[in-house]
Amino acid sequence: MVRWFWQRRTPGRVLHLRSRGEVGDATRVDFAELAPDVSTFLGQAAYLQLGYFETLSELIASTPELAKKEALSRAAGAALTKHQDIVALIRERGDDPTAVMLPFREELDAFRRATHGVRPQETLLSVHITAGMLDDFYYALATSYGDTGRRVARILQGDDDREAIVDILTDAIAADEQWRSLLALWGRRLVGDTLLIARSALQGSLGEAEEKRVEPVFTELMGAHARRMDAMGLAA
Amino acid sequence: MVRWFWQRRTPGRVLHLRSRGEVGDATRVDFAELAPDVSTFLGQAAYLQLGYFETLSELIASTPELAKKEALSRAAGAALTKHQDIVALIRERGDDPTAVMLPFREELDAFRRATHGVRPQETLLSVHITAGMLDDFYYALATSYGDTGRRVARILQGDDDREAIVDILTDAIAADEQWRSLLALWGRRLVGDTLLIARSALQGSLGEAEEKRVEPVFTELMGAHARRMDAMGLAA
pLDDT in tens, B127-138: 999 999 999 999
Mean pLDDT of B53-77: 90
Is the pLDDT at B207 greater than 80, yes or no? no
Using pLDDT thresholds of 50, 70 and 90, give the confidence band for residue B162.
confident
Q: Is A107 on the interface with B (CB under 8 A)?
A: no
Mutate to test the interface with B, among A73, A112, A159 (most CBs of B within 10 A): A73
The pLDDT, as a whole number, for residue B113 is 94
- In chain B, % of residues over pLDDT 90: 64
CB atoms B61 and A66 under 8 Å:
no
Among B154, B143, B44, B43, residue whose Cα is nearest residue B95: B43
**Separation in Å, CA B159 to CA A145, A152, B51, B221:** 32, 24, 17, 19
- pTM equals 0.80
CB atoms A57 and B76 under 8 Å:
yes
Chain A hits for B83, Cβ within 8 Å: 73
CB atoms within 10 A of CB B6: 21
Among A3-12, A18-27, A204-213, the least confident range: A3-12
Tell me how far apart the alpha carbons of residues B8 and B219 are, in angstroms, rounded to a whole number.
9
Mean pLDDT of A192-196: 91
Name the average pLDDT for chain A.
Answer: 85
Using pLDDT thresholds of 50, 70 and 90, give the confidence band for residue B99.
very high
Is the pLDDT at A7 greater than 50, yes or no? no
CA distance A236 to chain B (A): 31
Name the average pLDDT for chain B.
Answer: 85
Which residue ranges form the domains of chain B, and what is each CATH number? 34-231 (1.20.1260.10)
Is the pLDDT at A63 greater than 60, yes or no? yes
Helix (H) or strand (E) holding B177: none
Higher pLDDT, B232 or B202: B232
CB atoms B67 and A105 under 8 Å:
no
Using pLDDT thresholds of 50, 70 and 90, give the confidence band for residue B204.
low
The pLDDT, as a whole number, for residue B20 is 46
Tell me how far apart the alpha carbons of residues A184 and B118 are, in angstroms, rounded to a whole number.
41
Q: Which of residues 60-89 of A touch B (CB under 8 A)?
A: 60-61, 66-67, 69-70, 73-74, 76-77, 80-81, 83-84, 87
Tell me how far apart the alpha carbons of residues A52 and A47 are, in angstroms, rounded to a whole number.
9
Residue B153 C-alpha from the chain's centroid: 13
Mean pLDDT of A148-160: 93
Mean pLDDT of A87-94: 96
pLDDT tens for each residue of B175-186: 999 999 999 999
Q: Which of B53, B66, B98 is closest, CB to CB, to A67? A: B98
Q: Half-sphere exposure of residue A129, counting CA atoms within 13 Å on the CB side?
A: 33
The pLDDT, as a whole number, for residue B14 is 32
**Separation in Å, CA B143 to CA B95, B147, B225:** 21, 9, 21
Mean pLDDT of B189-216: 83
Three-state DSSP state, A6:
helix
Chain B residue with minimal CA distance to A64?
Answer: B105
Mutate to test the interface with A, among B53, B65, B80 (most CBs of A within 10 A): B80
pLDDT tens for each residue of A30-41: 666 788 899 999
Q: Is A97 on the interface with B (CB under 8 A)?
A: yes
Calculate helix-pair angle for A163-175, A66-92, nearest 10 degrees.
Answer: 150
Among B79, B114, B76, B118, residue whose Cα is nearest residue B194: B114
Chain A hits for B58, Cβ within 8 Å: 57, 61
- Cβ neighbourhood burial of A13 (10 Å; 0-12, 13-18, 19+): exposed
CB atoms B98 and A57 under 8 Å:
no
Mean pLDDT of B149-157: 95
Please give the ipTM for the structure prediction.
0.72
Mean pLDDT of B74-85: 93
Helices (H), A38-145: 38-62, 66-92, 97-101, 105-114, 120-142
Higher pLDDT, A8 or B74: B74
CB atoms A105 and B70 under 8 Å:
no
CA distance B227 to chain A (A): 30
- Is the separation of the CB atoms in A129 and A140 below 8 Å? no
pLDDT tens for each residue of B1-43: 444 444 333 333 333 454 444 434 444 446 667 888 999 999 9
Chain A residue with minimal CA distance to B61?
Answer: A54
Write the DSSP assignment of A162-196 as a string of letters.
-HHHHHHHHHHHHH-THHHHHHHHHHHHHHHHHHH
CB atoms A84 and B66 under 8 Å:
no
Among B138, B188, B136, B140, residue whose Cα is nearest residue B4: B188
Using pLDDT thresholds of 50, 70 and 90, give the confidence band for residue B121.
very high
Q: Half-sphere exposure of residue B94, counting CA atoms within 13 Å on the CB side?
A: 0
Among B80, B102, B135, residue whose Cα is nearest residue A60: B80
Chain B hits for A102, Cβ within 8 Å: 66
Tell me how far apart the alpha carbons of residues A211 and A8 are, in angstroms, rounded to a whole number.
11
The pLDDT, as a whole number, for residue A20 is 46
- Phi, psi angle pair for B158, to nearest 5°: -55, 160
The pLDDT, as a whole number, for residue A34 is 82
- Is the separation of the CB atoms in B60 and B69 below 8 Å? yes
Mean pLDDT of B142-154: 94
Q: Which of residues 25-64 of A touch B (CB under 8 A)?
A: 50, 53-54, 57-58, 60-61
Among B29-33, B196-200, B214-218, the least confident range: B29-33
Mean pLDDT of B64-85: 92
Is the pLDDT at B197 greater than 70, yes or no? yes
- Is the separation of the CB atoms in B85 and A77 below 8 Å? no
Long-range CB pairs of A84-91 (<8 Å, 24+ gap) are A84/B73, A84/B74, A84/B77, A85/A155, A85/A158, A86/A42, A86/A45, A86/A46, A86/A49, A86/A152, A86/A155, A87/A46, A87/B70, A89/A42, A89/A148, A89/A151, A89/A152, A89/A155, A90/A39, A90/A42, A90/A43, A90/A46
pLDDT tens for each residue of A98-143: 999 999 999 999 999 999 999 999 999 999 999 999 999 999 999 8
N-terminal to C-terminal alpha carbon distance within chain B: 19
Higher pLDDT, B63 or A212: B63
CA distance B70 to chain A (A): 8
Give the amino acid at B9: R
Task: Give chain B's radius of gyration (CA, Å).
Answer: 18
